[in-house]
A and B are shown apart, each in its own frame.
Chain A
Amino acid sequence: MEKYIDRKYVIELFNTYQEYSGRVILNDISLRIRKGEFVTIVGPTGCGKSTMLRMVLGSERPSRGVAAMEANIIKRPDRRRGIVFQKYSLFDFMNVRDNVMFGLELEQFSLAHIWIRKILPFVYRKRVKKFREEADHFLEKVGLLDHADKYPHQLSGGQRQRVAIAQAMIMKPQILLMDEPLGALDVGTREAMQIFIQELWGQTEQTILFITHDLEEAIFMGTRLIVLSQYYQNGGSNGSKIVQDIKIPWSQPRPTTIKHTKEFNDIMEGIRHTGLDPRHLQNIRDFNIQHEDALCSVEKYGDN
């Protein structure tokens, strides 16, 4: 294991398995994520994308293998890994600004501070003002400064997700995990949000692990694409493996017009055929794992 550990990688998974009561969900996943990369993970329903994300996040431990962040085994969720869920990322009982500055408050104030502030509202005013300014800075970045005093239920779905992104980004996490953040949005909002997240990534060089079930979105957004699928053998009973791990050729930010180019469609068709088609039983040698950071090479599976 030691020989793989490298400072330029944020997240490393080594031969991780995840089993629920004997049923294998993830079968021998190995993965390294380089700093500053925008990794998208795509796969059919029930392939264990979210399970993998939870392993990286720390809310689940792999049943075998190692999930590590900067050479430390991941034990529980902490502030170095931010998360944006599809739903329930925001706290309904606070307004947008408080939601965004909540992380700073949690980190720098203890419960005693909060109770003292409840009794004497004027103490710690300077620190709170600093939090507020920083929250406003992030809200401006996501373009929602005008809505800072609203409650989450007064916002639209896209706005809510943008607040959730600001809420996670304010902690400056090493890696930002996104679990189908655009899954509940309509087509127009979705495209706008795709461009927005790409721009944000371009500005901040934040490492992002982005999970989606939409192939087009995955190819369009990431710099590296990982396809997770259970349909490579035996009709999906063996648990998921990484069946594709490729570098996306275009530089970011990308215009939405590339979605209609031939090259884009070729990549899409290829993945659809090899990774996501349940009828397409294939040999492990056919996996397209050419990314430079990929750990599971064709040679490794040679004996299968």
Chain B
Amino acid sequence: MFFPRLRNRFLDVWQWLKRFPGKTVKAIKRLPGLFAEELVTIGKEFLEMIRNFFRLRTVPGRRISVLLSLILFLFCIKLYYNTSVERHAENPQDKLVPTGEQLWNGFRKTVFDVTIREEYDADGEIIVNDLPKTFSEARSRDKQARVEGGKVNIYERWKNSATREYLKQGESLLWLDTKASGKRILIAMLFIFAGIYIGLFMGAFPYAEKLLYRFVLFFDKVPAIAVLPILFIVFGLGETSKIALIVIGVAPTVILDTYLKVKEVHDEQLVKGMTLGASQSEIVFRIIYPQIIPKVLDTVRLNFKSVILFLIAGEALAAEAGIGYRIFVVRRYMDMATIFPYVVWISMLAFFVDMAFRSWIKSKYQWLNK
């Protein structure tokens, strides 16, 4: 809780009240004093925060830590709110800084409104069914059913709900785009993971190093965005060029990082392996590889940002669906109410994938947590 001390006081008083029911009035009289005391402590902590702000090796308490880490977010939200209110006072149709309502509508439009495919019968007439046609219609039907049906198990309610039937008719814009982008990222990641093996090969075998090192080093320096036109000309406007862009942008970094990590492995370990009867391939795959892989996976994780960057750059130029594509399409109509949910969604997706990856590495390679 945010005010643990205050809560504890209340609990104390509550215990005291239970023990002496007759003294309730006295206890209630004590409450303002408690509040005053708490306010004084908060004030003191605030003063201390200001005093300690530029002090080395002084760690703030829990409450101040939470406050400090929230403060910039709150400031940004407040700034946005003020700008929005100001602009809407001048022009109620303003699209550049949408209000909360506009944002919510945009969010609903992209997340919940599905594209309904119309079905035709043999005569070319549209088949009319009684499925809900909009999200709000589905919601209101559900509300009606809840009022009529009374108390039902939440799972049953969802299974029979109109919302589910509505969503099943098609796909929402956001989901469509996420699927298209996710497919590109997954295929690109396969190639990037293959890069780990190239780096391993390069670092372990000096002949392979001589063959590949300068080549990869050169390609690492070529800005991937600059070769994007070449990729579009060579591979066409299809998926290949967008995946190739991501791979060309990120794989050299991963290869070189793996190479450096392999070089960091102590020579003693290789000699030791040889004295234990390891063959060449066993030295590479059973001594070098397990040592470097968690560190290399960390590099891949940190490069996830570049993967998304190149993905959006590729999609912005030519695509049929995709998160980058959508953002750049609605940019033409200055549709901030769509752009914002997309930006938030892609950031959150990247953040959670990163977090999951990190905790997976941490739990799988416990020997790393020295």
Q: What residues of chain A have their CB less than 8 Å away from a CB belonging to chain B?
A: 57, 59, 76-79, 81-83, 85, 87-89, 91-94, 102-103, 106-107, 110-111, 114, 151-153, 167-168, 171, 173
Cβ-defined contact, A89 with B272, below 8 A: yes
Q: Shortest distance in angstroms between B283's beta carbon and chain A's nearest beta carbon? A: 9
Identify which of residues 290-336 in chain B touch chain A, using a CB-to-CB cut-off of 8 Å: 290-291
B266 interfacial by beta-carbon distance below 8 Å: yes
A95 to chain B: closest residue by CB: B367
Cβ-defined contact, B276 with A107, below 8 A: yes
Instruction: List chain B residues, Cβ under 8 A from A103.
Output: 276-277
| The residue from B277, B366, B370 contacting A106, defined by CB atoms under 8 A apart | B277
B268 interfacial by beta-carbon distance below 8 Å: yes
Given A91-B287, A92-B291, check contact A79 B269 (CB 8 Å).
no
Instruction: List chain B residues, Cβ under 8 A from A78.
Output: 274-275, 277
Q: How far is the CA of A91 from the CA of B289 in the complex (A)?
A: 12
A92 to chain B: closest residue by CB: B367
Instruction: List chain B residues, Cβ under 8 A from A79.
Output: 275-277
Q: Shortest distance in angstroms between B10's beta carbon and chain A's nearest beta carbon? A: 45
Cβ-defined contact, B274 with A76, below 8 A: yes
Instruction: List chain A residues, Cβ under 8 A from B287.
Output: 91
User: Per DSSP, are chain B's interface residues mostly helix, strand or loop, or mixed?
Assistant: helix
Instruction: List chain B residues, Cβ under 8 A from A81.
Output: 275
User: Per DSSP, are chain A's interface residues mostly helix, strand or loop, or mixed?
Assistant: loop
B285 interfacial by beta-carbon distance below 8 Å: yes
Cβ-defined contact, B275 with A168, below 8 A: yes
B86 interfacial by beta-carbon distance below 8 Å: no
Q: How far is the CA of A171 from the CA of B285 in the complex (A)?
A: 21
| The residue from B271, B285, B290, B291 contacting A59, defined by CB atoms under 8 A apart | B271
Nearest 9 pairs of A and B residues by beta carbon: A103-B276, A79-B277, A77-B274, A88-B268, A107-B277, A88-B266, A106-B278, A93-B290, A151-B367
Cβ-defined contact, A153 with B370, below 8 A: yes
Q: How far is the CA of A59 from the CA of B283 in the complex (A)?
A: 15
Cβ-defined contact, A77 with B281, below 8 A: no
Q: Shortest distance in angstroms between B127's beta carbon and chain A's nearest beta carbon? A: 50
Instruction: List chain B residues, Cβ under 8 A from A153.
Output: 367, 370
Instruction: List chain A residues, Cβ under 8 A from B278.
Output: 106
Cβ-defined contact, A111 with B272, below 8 A: no
Given A81-B275, A171-B275, check contact A89 B268 (CB 8 Å).
yes
Cβ-defined contact, A57 with B367, below 8 A: no
| The residue from B268, B274, B365 contacting A85, defined by CB atoms under 8 A apart | B268
| The residue from B279, B282, B367 contacting A93, defined by CB atoms under 8 A apart | B367
B132 interfacial by beta-carbon distance below 8 Å: no
B182 interfacial by beta-carbon distance below 8 Å: no
Q: How far is the CA of A151 from the CA of B367 in the complex (A)?
A: 7
Q: Shortest distance in angstroms between B350's beta carbon and chain A's nearest beta carbon? A: 29
Given A111-B282, A153-B367, check contact A88 B269 (CB 8 Å).
yes
Q: Shortest distance in angstroms between B182's beta carbon and chain A's nearest beta carbon? A: 27
Q: Shortest distance in angstroms between B262's beta carbon and chain A's nearest beta carbon? A: 14
Identify which of residues 145-181 in chain B touch chain A, using a CB-to-CB cut-off of 8 Å: none
B9 interfacial by beta-carbon distance below 8 Å: no
| The residue from B274, B276, B291, B366 contacting A102, defined by CB atoms under 8 A apart | B276
Instruction: List chain B residues, Cβ under 8 A from A57.
Output: 271, 275
Sample of 21 A–B contacts (CB below 8 Å): A57-B275, A59-B267, A76-B274, A77-B274, A79-B275, A79-B276, A79-B277, A81-B275, A85-B268, A87-B266, A87-B268, A88-B268, A88-B269, A93-B367, A102-B276, A103-B276, A103-B277, A106-B277, A106-B278, A106-B282, A171-B277
